[in-house]
Amino acid sequence: MRAEIDRHDWAALPNAFGEPALALRAALYDLSAAGGAAGVDVEAAAGAAVDLAVQRIQRETNAPEAPAPCAPAAARCLVQGLGPGPGALRGYAYGQALELLVLMSSGGDYYSDGDGGCGAARDGLRAEVSRGFDAYATCLRQGADAAARCCAVNLILVSGLYDPRLRPDAARALRAAPSGAAPPDLLAAALAELERA
């Protein structure tokens, strides 16, 4: 995740307030550091740091009507943190990253055809969220945390709605969810929305 954070020119990306997104970069670093903690005691101690980082990320990316221009880059970093390997988010931080992606991809006017001057950020955000499809499907099948699995359902839906090529895989992933992985009404509603798309 840290390598992905370093790839972006945060000073050139406006946050929700039209300022350079340097505070967003710092918050993503903090989430990466706290979220990579190993061991139960370390993770429990890092929970407050994760919460603070998440609040800061939300503040920087959450514009009232559409995603801030920095939101696609932030989503790309969060998706990178969901992958396997060194620097991957774990436990509580993993679930919080999923929740952030849900909030970022479902708030505001993201799904309307109206632009409002933020169409590129909206489309970029959808594209970046869709890149995490495999991680969401894995979480739905194998995730230990119920809230994270519910987030995975929503993110699978977002991915399938945005990218028609993912739509069959999204429907298949939702149908193949293990019994009890997510509330049946949530799965049914997501499948119905995919079928209407």
What DSSP string describes 59-88? HHH--SSS--TTHHHHHHHHHHHHSSSTT-
| Residue 114 reports pLDDT greater than 60 | no
Q: Residue 99 pairs with which residues in a beta bridge?
A: none
| Residue 111 reports pLDDT greater than 70 | no
Least-confidence region, from 22-36, 83-97, 113-127: 113-127
Which structure tokens are listed for 188?
Answer: 């049914």
Span 155-165, pLDDT tens digits = 999 999 999 99
**pLDDT reported for residue 109:** 42
Q: Residue 14 pairs with which residues in a beta bridge?
A: 20
**pLDDT reported for residue 194:** 95
% of the chain surpassing 70 pLDDT: 86
